[in-house]
Structure 1
């Protein structure tokens, strides 16, 4: 599959790389890291990053302005996106050939080529393998910085169970490049005063249930009170992950037209539950969306059942 993907990249003059809406460091890191590696190996190609900009991640890179005409006869690569509904910028449909590269469970097998590896810690880790330079070789500096950020983001600084020997292997190769890892960590984990105060609210209001599930409600009123956006609030989803006895936890984050469900676990597989509520993701980290607080009660009931029946 990797050879087939590289062959397709070599055949096209223009490559446009997409990722999912509401991006995280792995989405941006794999997308932009792939761009840097393509240009490193194929300097004459024209490579663009598609999608809405995300201000909180602009320390990694900014998206490109792309004319509609560029999509004609272009190779489209979508990184870190499990289903077509979450692809940022639906002009991906205008391309000549579509490749999916992702590490989420393959619920939506879209694309002319479909490379999914659920054993990978991140899509950034997969991009490293796509352009493996061989022993003793290094990646370009900027590509290394971006891919390292993606791996760090999706492994929670190498703390999550998806961190493997393979993950450390690629991190070790990337860290040899000329970039400041300390500055990168500072940018990734810098916290604003409003967000820190919201985290204090979350720690005081979290509901711990008998099942081992924990629940937090962040209404629009609360977000407005603390001056934090729903996207920024995602940065504290692991605020109480070390709580004794916790099995899984959910943040309900209200937006004008939807309630975002941010779901995490320390054991029970929760991606199938997310899938029943217009979502999906990893067994230990998933997301979903609901429309009413009554639906939130049903979700909590289902999460209680998942946690109650789980045995380590």
Structure 2
């Protein structure tokens, strides 16, 4: 992220009257926080522009707000910005490539530079942290960081740092968070809301804790379609419990796999060993300590577990 890129971004924002903001499928707090923060800030900067947030809102994070109804016609003269998405297949929305100009803003390692302008900073804890920095680099001070913008960015940073427990938390991250928390929103209530789960999800978490396997400092579990039906829980909601086994004494890494029907989504986490290269070998990618991949059989999942053990060793 450099001054030349920021200048191009500003010029493009000035040029287009329609701006459509995307992010990845199965959004987490950072994807939603950065998306809604940027939309809110741009609406304040240019009240007459049409600024829209595209994508599907998961029920578990519906308190963030609402997505806009974006039609194919909206893209004809639009600037499209995709946030928090390392590679194009993970973008939520099929028409993102039909706009006039495409910009990517992300903090993941650059697997796929699909934008005409790619602003990537792997040193940022989150895309929300990047959006805060970008708004300041626009040169308006904090004029366009309203209470709502601060709220969205704070939730995004908290989400991607695991409430500041993950090793992507830096002194800059904490400095930004301290400024955001000074705005007048009830951060305690919002964090409590972000952590709330329906009772069936808590029962599912109990199942995970009782049934995951642990060998050679690696934890793993395979959630079948039958288990999802048993607990009446979606694959997306099930994935929220990826870190359930993280507190096991001696654990170095773990994989949480969910059979989503047409594919098996494997979320991989690590405390020390870099696992994004391993994820890339299994149709995925991500951060060195938090990545995801896709397998298509129980046997392939078992091979992934074996490879994760080798990575830890």
Indicate the TM-score class for this superposition, using the shorter chain for normalisation. over 0.9
Q: Is the 8 A contact 2:268 2:275 kept in 1?
A: yes
Query: Which secondary structure state, in structure 1, belongs to the residue aligned with residue 95 of structure 2?
Result: helix
Aligned-partner Cα distance in 2 for 1:252–1:189: 21
The alignment covers a number of residue pairs equal to 307
**Mapped pair 1:145 → 2:151:** yes
Corresponding position: 1:264 with 2:282: no
Give structure 1 stretches of 5+ with no counterpart.
none
Which structure 2 residues correspond to residues 22-33 of structure 1 after superposition, within 5 A?
Answer: 22-33=26-37
Give the CA RMSD over aligned residues: 1.4
- Number of the residue aligned with 2:197: 191
CA distance in 2, matches of 1:257, 1:217: 15
**Structural mapping, 1:85-96, within 5 Å:** 85-96=89-100
Report the Cα distance in structure 2 between the residues aligned to 1:303 and 1:170, rounded to whole angstroms.
35
Deviation at 1:178, TM superposition (A): 2.1
Residue 72 of structure 2, aligned match among 68, 75, 92: 68
Distance 1:134 1:170 in 2: 16
1:44 and 1:62, CA in 2 relative to 1: closer, same or farther beyond 3 A? same
The residue number in structure 2 matching 1:255 is 260
CA distance in 1, matches of 2:142, 2:71: 40
Q: Say which SS state the counterpart of residue 63 (structure 2) adopts.
A: coil
TM-score for the superposition, normalised by structure 2: 0.95
Deviation at 1:205, TM superposition (A): 1.5
Greater displacement, 96-105 / 218-227? 218-227
Q: 1:47 aligns with which of 51, 63, 68?
A: 51
Give the CA deviation at 1:295. Answer: 0.6
Inter-CA distance 138–10: structure 2 relative to 1 (3 Å threshold): closer
Q: Which runs of 5+ in 2 are unaligned?
A: none
Q: CA deviation at 1:3?
A: 2.3
Residues 110-149 of structure 1, C-alpha deviations (whole Å, 9 max, x = no match) = 1111001111000000000110166676711111111111
Deviation at 1:182, TM superposition (A): 1.4
Q: Distance in 2 between matches of 1:108 and 1:264?
A: 21
Detail structure 1 runs of 4+ shifted over 3 Å in the superposition.
133-138
- The corresponding residue for 1:171 is 177
Which residue does the alignment assign to 2:14?
Answer: 10
TM superposition shift of 1:53: 2.5
1:248 Cα shift? 0.4
Q: CA deviation at 1:159?
A: 0.6
Separation of aligned partners in 2, 1:179 and 1:43: 23
Partners of 1:167 and 1:134 in 2: how far apart?
Answer: 21
1:37-75 per-position Cα deviation (integer Å, ceiling 9, x unaligned): 111222221100111232221100111001222111110
Structure 1 window deviating more from structure 2 (95-104 vs 32-41): it is 32-41
